[in-house]
Copies of this chain bind each other. A is one copy, B any other.
Amino acid sequence: MSLDKRARALGQWLVLGSLVGLVCGVASAIFLFLLEEATRWRTRHEVLVYFLPLAGLVLGALYGRWGASIRGGNNLVIDTVHEGGERLPARMAPMALLGTVLTHLFGGSAGREGTAVQMGASLADAVAHRLQVSPTTRRELLAAGIAGGFGSVFGTPIAGTVFGLEVVSVGRLNYEALVPALVAALVGDFVTRSLGIHHTAYPAVSPLALSPGVMGKWLVFGAAVAAVAVVFVEGVHFLKKRMEKAVPSLALRMALGGALLVVLWKAVGTSDYLGLGLPLIERAFVDPTLPPETFALKLLFTLLTLGTGLLGGEVTPLFVVGAALGNLLARPLGLPLELAAGVGLAALFGAAANTPLALSLMAVELLGAGVLPHVLIVTVTAYLLTGQRGIYPAQRIARLKH
């Protein structure tokens, strides 16, 4: 490849990647703004939570009527990266956004990366379609859309870049889309921040010297993370399948999900487990008196939310579950509270999504370099122990894990 060709390749990716990053960044900013408003409204007017079943009914009806082509969500995106095929529906972006914001407005426990990835990928596909690019370029722009969406919604462009490459397959990272993914994630993040969005600030964790003893502790920690990841992954898949059989109507299913969440909410007597759960993460880093059942309850709320078809991603609730699990394990294992919470936060989603590198880098971006190498040990251990399962069944198995 001549220098001229390489320079042109760089130029092309700068333009196309920036374009994708721009639309991803704007979409993420709108999404995050609406999500914050919805969360603020719900915390001020908790009576809204009683309407979660009704919201589920309406959302289910909407999705039943217009959403058939996009129900695959992130799996549809991953399939399209691998197989090409039809253009991702333009409605994917607005419907994922609306569904997630409404789910949060009424107190569902869901995350943001699913929405961000679906918005980013469908917008990138619109760009690819509009510019009539080749199938290869389209595939790379889709990866850029995933990277741009993920990077901008969390304010972590490097994690977004690697996530865009890592999420499509298990056990292999292809560098084909490295440049467009990096450009889209950086531009997307810049655009989102420029539109006035502030991301959650986490405390920088202090480094801890690695000894065989500490490594042994992290192995135990990693096994616990793997167990919780398996419960979550299998739980969501099981619940989805059983609920689809038991309640074939999506609208009724989502309404039932909402009703179950209201019952659970009243039963536990706190609103801590509704929505993203960011305040719980903050507590997990500093509060040794965090109730030990915190991780299990957040897991249950999230399983019920996503397993019954309510909308949103997995990252932030799994951050809460992982951080709370780390908080719980810190004392018996004799690990610093903050570090254990930070490692748990990143490792659980990394294991559940089979993206150990992206989430280790995310931990570095959020918590500083002190989290290395601990987070990679735990994430890789949990990644190995969860086997070939994951929250995205569409992922191709490039390599067996053992």
A residues lining the B interface (CB < 8 Å): 1, 3, 5-7, 9-10, 14, 157-158, 161-162, 170-176, 178-179, 182, 186, 189-190, 204, 210-212, 215, 219, 356-357, 361, 364-365, 368-369, 372-373, 376-377, 380-381, 384-385, 387-388, 398-402
Can you report 6 residue pairs joining A to B where beta carbons are below 8 Å apart?
A10-B384, A162-B357, A171-B174, A173-B173, A364-B364, A365-B369
Bound Cα distance A364, B204 (Å):
14
Q: From A179, which residue of chain B is reached at the shortest CB distance?
A: B384
The answer to whether B10 touches A175, judged by C-beta atoms less than 8 angstroms apart, is no
Q: A158-B372, A182-B376 are in contact. Are A381 and B175 (CB under 8 A)?
A: no
Contact among B157, B172, B173, B387 for A373, CB-based, below 8 A: B157
Bound Cα distance A219, B369 (Å):
25
Contact among B161, B162, B172, B190 for A174, CB-based, below 8 A: B172
Q: A186-B373, A215-B186, A376-B161 are in contact. Are A176 and B6 (CB under 8 A)?
A: no
Q: From A9, which residue of chain B is reached at the shortest CB distance?
A: B402
Q: From A365, which residue of chain B is reached at the shortest CB distance?
A: B372
Contact among B215, B357, B384 for A9, CB-based, below 8 A: B384
Q: From A194, which residue of chain B is reached at the shortest CB distance?
A: B211
Bound Cα distance A365, B158 (Å):
15
Contact among B171, B174, B381 for A399, CB-based, below 8 A: B174
- Which residues of chain B are within 8 angstroms of A400 by Cβ–Cβ distance? 1
The answer to whether A387 touches B1, judged by C-beta atoms less than 8 angstroms apart, is yes
- Which residues of chain B are within 8 angstroms of A219 by Cβ–Cβ distance? 14
The answer to whether A384 touches B6, judged by C-beta atoms less than 8 angstroms apart, is yes
Q: Shortest CB–CB separation between residue A382 and chain B, in angstroms?
A: 11
The answer to whether A158 touches B401, judged by C-beta atoms less than 8 angstroms apart, is no
- Which residues of chain B are within 8 angstroms of A365 by Cβ–Cβ distance? 369, 372
Q: A1-B400, A176-B171, A400-B1 are in contact. Are A369 and B364 (CB under 8 A)?
A: yes
Bound Cα distance A372, B368 (Å):
10
The answer to whether A6 touches B387, judged by C-beta atoms less than 8 angstroms apart, is yes
The answer to whether B385 touches A175, judged by C-beta atoms less than 8 angstroms apart, is no
Contact among B5, B157, B174, B401 for A6, CB-based, below 8 A: B401
- Which residues of chain B are within 8 angstroms of A182 by Cβ–Cβ distance? 376-377, 380
- Which residues of chain B are within 8 angstroms of A388 by Cβ–Cβ distance? 1
